[in-house]
Structure 1
Amino acid sequence: MDLSNTDDDDDDDDNVFQRRNNQWIVLVDDEESIRLAVGDFLYDRGYDVTACSDSDSLLQLIIQSQEQQQKSQAKDNNGNKDNDDDDDFRIPDVIISDVRMPDSDQNGYELVELKVLLLPKLKNIPIILLTAKAMTEDRIKGYQCGADVVLPKPFSPEELLSIIDNLIEKKERRRNHNKLDEIKSIMTQNSSKMVERTDIVLSNKERQLIELLSDGYTKKEISKELSLRRDMKDDDLNRVLEKLYTKTDTQTRTELLRWARRVGYIN
């Protein structure tokens, strides 16, 4: 048996598990057996999972998350320079919902439609609908309502896991691409091809941080990326960022990136 790649495979598995630890999956199903079985399976694969018995519980969960984040921000606002992140409150990364929930006022189809009306920020959450019927009409209705995937029961747990991984990866790529486009747009506004002379010298860590910021990474994503690279401890991030602000006489991420572009640290 060839064991030469065993260590690499173990490292890959650890990285996948660590990435999933930062993702929040909400499962909505009125059957407790389904909530326990699917919830435990996803939890064992690394995901942060919350199970709800109906859509009302889900909406209440999101409202509580919003309220907790608002309280936390109120405490942290004093002296916090980097308030331009758009993570106002935590929302699920993926919602999995059963289509038929007799004891709930809303079924899975209505939940898909309601999330767009409730809060604009919720409209980009991928939704997987679970249906006991494999009929084409049910799948079409699910997609027409805005579901990303309609998965008929019974399904393979490994298939569900692959679907979730894929949806989250696509969402992250889309979000990073949008952030990058936004930053590039800001950088090109009233920009000049001339590069200003500067006596400010940046360390390797500071250069890495600026490059990740210019690629559209949030503070949370930067912390995760540098942690995986083992180039910077999580508690070093704020210290390096504050030092950058002081050295460059800037106060926000946008100002910092404008300065970096002017002096030629980024294109």
Structure 2
Amino acid sequence: MTNPANILLVDDEPGVRESVQAYLEYSGDFNVKVAGNVAQAWEILEQETPDLVISDVMMPQVDGYEFLGKLREDTRFQSLPVVFLTARGMTSDRIQGYHAGCDAYLSKPFDPEELEAMVKNLLERRKISVQANSESAKLEEIAQEIRELKKQLGQQPIFVTTPSPIKIELTPREQSVLDLVAEGLMNKEIASRLNTSVRNVEKYVSRLFSKTATNSRTELVRFALKHGLTQ
């Protein structure tokens, strides 16, 4: 069972706060904290970063646009999804909201089911984005490790302890993939360089692992350099 997403709802109308909070929490998918103005919202934000913010636009003292601008200026909240709720439904107002950095715009009165669907969609998109960024960071870390490995092996003599050179038969395409892996390129970059699909590159890399009895790209490059399979 997944943990409920944390939502911060900011609206100066008690009726809206109560109804939206009750509706979203009913399914068990969300925990909703409410604030009647931006000052209260910041007190909550300083204690805990939510997964998504729902904010009214027309509020006293500090309106939604100013609130959103303050969020986007803070590095902690720059990627935080924000949904605007407002009685102002004119196109110019929506454009202003998107320019300010909101992710979705819903005019009052609205269907609670539409709001729920919008929130779930934004949360799913954020999850995918976070996963993609994490994977990209991991791939870059592997590429850097390979580059450092090549640099170290290039500076030091390599002593082969086997009595005779290992003979491994590689197809031209496998050799091309191996050379690009040794350069530190990831599968997507290799696919672009060789004008093929990422899936095909994954198959070639898997075959290289099998032929060289290695389990990672770093081990593969180390093996290839040690036994003269690539330069």
From 41, 58, 77, the equivalent of 1:122 is 77
CA distance in structure 2 between the partners assigned to 1:22 and 1:180 by the alignment? 24
The Cα of 1:263 is off from its aligned counterpart by 5.5
* 2:54 is the counterpart of 1:38: no
SS of aligned partner of 1:167 = helix
From 114, 121, 126, the equivalent of 1:159 is 114
CA distance in structure 1 between the partners assigned to 2:25 and 2:216 by the alignment? 41
Once the two structures are superposed, residues 230-264 of structure 1 have per-residue CA deviations (whole angstroms, 9 ceiling, x without a partner) of xxxxxxxxxxxxxxxxxxxxxxxxxxxxx966458
* 2:54 is the counterpart of 1:99: no
Identity %: 34
The Cα of 1:32 is off from its aligned counterpart by 0.7
SS of aligned partner of 2:88 = coil
SS of aligned partner of 1:121 = coil
Alignment of structure 1 residues 28-177 onto 2, 5 Å: 28-46=10-28, 47-65=30-48, 91-102=49-60, 105-117=61-73, 119-177=74-132
Work out whether residues 87 and 108 of structure 2, in 8 Å CA contact, stay in contact via their aligned partners in 1: yes
Once the two structures are superposed, residues 176-199 of structure 1 have per-residue CA deviations (whole angstroms, 9 ceiling, x without a partner) of 101100100001114169xxxxxx
What is the match of residue 188 of structure 2?
none
The Cα of 1:137 is off from its aligned counterpart by 1.2
CA distance in structure 1 between the partners assigned to 2:127 and 2:219 by the alignment? 30
Q: State the TM-score, normalizing by the size of structure 1.
A: 0.54
Amino acid at match of 1:57: Q
**Aligned length in residues:** 154
Uncovered stretches (5+) of structure 2, i.e. residues with no partner: 151-214, 221-231
CA distance in structure 1 between the partners assigned to 2:8 and 2:15 by the alignment? 15
What is the match of residue 190 of structure 2?
none
The Cα of 1:42 is off from its aligned counterpart by 0.5
RMSD of Structure 2 on Structure 1 (CA): 2.1
Once the two structures are superposed, residues 119-153 of structure 1 have per-residue CA deviations (whole angstroms, 9 ceiling, x without a partner) of 20201001000110221111111111111111001
Once the two structures are superposed, residues 15-63 of structure 1 have per-residue CA deviations (whole angstroms, 9 ceiling, x without a partner) of xxx43x3310000001111100000100112201101111111111121
- The structure 1 segments of at least 4 consecutive aligned residues displaced by more than 4 Å after TM superposition are 259-264
